Amino acid sequence: MSKPLLLVAAAALIDADGRVLVTRRPAGKAHAGKWEFPGGKVEANETPEQAVNRELREELGLEPCERCLQPFSFTSYAYDDFHLFMPLYLCRQWDGFAQPKEGQGIKWLYPNQITELDLVEADIELAQELADRLPSGRRFAV
Ligand SMILES: Nc1nc2c([nH]c(=O)n2[C@@H]2O[C@H](COP(=O)(O)OP(=O)(O)OP(=O)(O)O)[C@@H](O)[C@H]2O)c(=O)[nH]1
């Protein structure tokens, strides 16, 4: 029997220092305690970009810039109960400071640190791709 296809959209927010925001799924949700990129399910009346921006507002209190979402990669991943299709965007511009609005943990980490986290399964390869394609660590000696 084929599994339902779930369209989710997520973003790697990158700060001026090259760190990326990751969030930890709160208790009570599927994959609780695992780390992922902010985002969520794409609703019937919206584009993936609108979904990312809505989720960034709802989950983190950020006001992103819709045109600033840059396609980076995607995952097409078979979980036991559904098949996930998830584009991952890069975003370097937004208004506000990230605050966990839904009980989730949040961390700003360099891409090579994200690969060390206990990530949701579908994000393991995406995190490796970020580490391979984005600079990691401080760019300037202190
Ligand atoms: N937001 C987000 N979800 C991801 C990522 N990777 C990944 O496998 N997922 C999965 O995509 C599914 C949908 O995410 P979601 O956050 O909107 O859904 P949810 O389970 O919280 O449901 P709900 O918002 O209806 O309560 C979840 O099963 C989640 O584990 C990711 O990087 N970001």
pTM for this one? Answer: 0.94
Residue whose CA is closest, atom 5 of ligand 1? Answer: 36
pLDDT in tens, 38-77: 999 999 999 999 999 999 999 999 998 878 999 999 999 9
5-133: what CATH class? Answer: alpha beta
The tokens of 80 are what? 């036991």
Give the whole-angstrom CA distance, residue 2 versus residue 118.
28
The tokens of 74 are what? 């995607």
Burial of 53 (0-12, 13-18, 19+ CB in 10 A): buried
Proportion of the chain above pLDDT 90, given as a percent: 89
Give the whole-angstrom CA distance, residue 1 versus residue 97.
44
Pocket probe for ligand 1: among 7, 120, 121, 123, the residue whose CB has the most ligand atoms within 8 Å is: 120
Which of 42-51, 89-98, 132-141 comes out lowest in average pLDDT?
A: 132-141
- CA dihedral of 67, 46, 34, 120, whole degrees rounded to 10: -90
Q: Which residues line ligand 1 (CB under 6 A)?
A: 8, 10, 29-31, 36-37, 39-41, 84, 86, 120, 122-123
Amino acid occupying residue 123: D
Residue ranges of domains in the chain: 5-133
Give distance in angstroms: CA of 103 to centre of ligand 1: 14
